[in-house]
Amino acid sequence: MYIVNYRRRAEAAFLLFCFFFFLSIARLCFIQFFRSEYLAEIAQKQHNMFIELEPRRGTVYDCNLKPLAVNLVFESVYAEPNQLSREQKERIAAQLAPLLALERSFLASRLDRDKAFVWLARKVSPEQAQQIRALKFKGIGMIKESKRCYPNDYLLSQVLGFAGLDNTGLEGLELYYDNYLKGEPGWATVLRDARSKRLDLNDTTVPAKDGYHLVLTIDEVVQYIAERELEKAYQTYHAKGASIIVIDPRTGQLLALANRPGYDLNKPGHVSKDQIRNRAICDMFEPGSVFKIVTAAAALEENKVNEMTRFFCENGEYRVANHTLHDHRPHGWLTFREVIEQSSNIGTSKVAQLLGPDKLYEYIKRFGFGAKLGIDIPGEINGSIKPPRQWSKTSIACVPMGQEVGVTALQLATALSVIANGGYLMKPYLVREVRDRQGQVIDYYPPTLVRQVLSEETAARMRKILIGVMENGTGKMGKLGQFTAGGKTGTAQKLDPNGSYSHDKYIASFMGFAPAEDPQVAIVVTVDEPHPYYFGGVVAAPVFKRVAEDVLKYLKTKEYTQQTASLK
């Protein structure tokens, strides 16, 4: 009986052993065939630390290859919390907080994370890096990263824009050309043991691919001249804002573009949206009398008038429908040339009536108003121009002199370029070429013709009329000393919130080209709400004069220097 019971117990134990044996085999098979990839991935994460290697962002150069935006090498501080004890974490937080100018609680929260890698501070100064390295903390390391820097601080702020902490473009050209500039990140793999200690074995590294360089059409010297003079006017006339554009009318290349107020590109975190806004391409305003060049050019092109056609300007008051049109001073009989020179609203409206609403609208569109010009920077707007079917009875008098029309400073610059270059609308642009790290050209952007707007004969006649504006008319304060120039003044009333025209808020503007016989630059200046003076001929024309004179002298010297260098 005892032997039988013993045999039964032995058989039960054997069967139980077999059951657990086959259960273990089944579990192992399940792990091997169904869970192996998941567990291998966990093991890989535990034994391999992946660090992203940031690419070096491409440099932005002016047309003479002077750097405008560069990346410099800084060090970033990281921690490996899994290697640190509670006391070590507290000591590190206490000592690093004053060095990094961070709250102790912030560092403590970062160190308390259950991770193998956390950032403590990105792109610290060389002095901070040296002090931290001297502390020789376990579990604290440094990684070299690049930081975006702008050597000229405020220069070209709304055009360049800026990049964020991760070197991603956020504004301006930095944003528009981000895919070219940012490059592609790389990776470094660090092998660790079961206690997360780094092993002295070869690390695996996939190097980052650095970004491409941009070469702009902007000339740093021209930009400096333009910003210097714009700043003077902005401060002198206590303006709300101001813009200036210097463009090569032959190609559409922008040599300078500036706005006020500006901001320090190296401190973008402390500026308002008003400072960041690129007013020259995203602010719409009624242009006033500078718009008369469109009416005048259309009338000449359509043979509705010639330079000596006479118009009676009603001694300063002219009734159109239920609206009385005024001139800034009374005029009697004026020739067509004198109408533009003296900026007569009444004379211009009579010219427009000969032209007709449909034909005037056609030329407004042909000059590029009411549509984006396609400039290579974010923020450009269409402007506004209503088709003739939506015009009121007074529109034929208001539109020709720049009312009921919304434009940008860039649209005015390209429209003036049509007259300066012989009748051709050129696409404005800011980037001339893209280069790789070896200096090879990856992409080249040539001048682009949009369409022919005027015949060369009409453009030449308009240039002579605009020279007369400078010599005999409202633009005398913009007259150059050593060079001939043509231009047009503008003084536009702003709209009040109730829809009526303001009597104390104006936009003063001036647009001009020089030298008149072979225009190399076209310049547009707009000043928003200047006071106590607000006339375009008083506020904006002197800015044109100073900028044009200095820029032409510089370009002449630059051309001579290049010719001398080529001879050598």
Active-site residue set: 289
Do 366 and 425 touch, CB atoms closer than 8 A?
Answer: yes
Alpha carbons 86 and 77: distance in angstroms, whole number = 19
Angle in degrees, 0-180, between the axes of helices 2-34 and 36-47, rounded to the nearest 10: 70
Which H helix or E strand runs over 53? strand 48-53
> CA angle at residue 221 from 217 to 227, to 5 degrees?
95
Phi, psi (5° rounding) for residue 552? Answer: -65, -40
Q: Give, rounded to a whole angstrom, the gap between the first and last alpha carbons of the chain.
A: 121
Q: Return the HEC string of 246-291.
A: EECCCCCEEEEEEEECCCCCCCHHHCCHHHHCCHHHHCCECCHHHH
Do 430 and 173 touch, CB atoms closer than 8 A?
Answer: yes
Alpha carbons 431 and 69: distance in angstroms, whole number = 14
Beta-carbon contacts of 369 under 8 Å, excluding residues fewer than 6 positions away, are 294, 383, 385, 405, 407, 411, 415
The pair of structure tokens assigned to 270 is: 């402390």
**Taking the CA of residue 260 as centre, how many other CA atoms within 13 Å lie in the half-sphere pointing to its CB?**
24
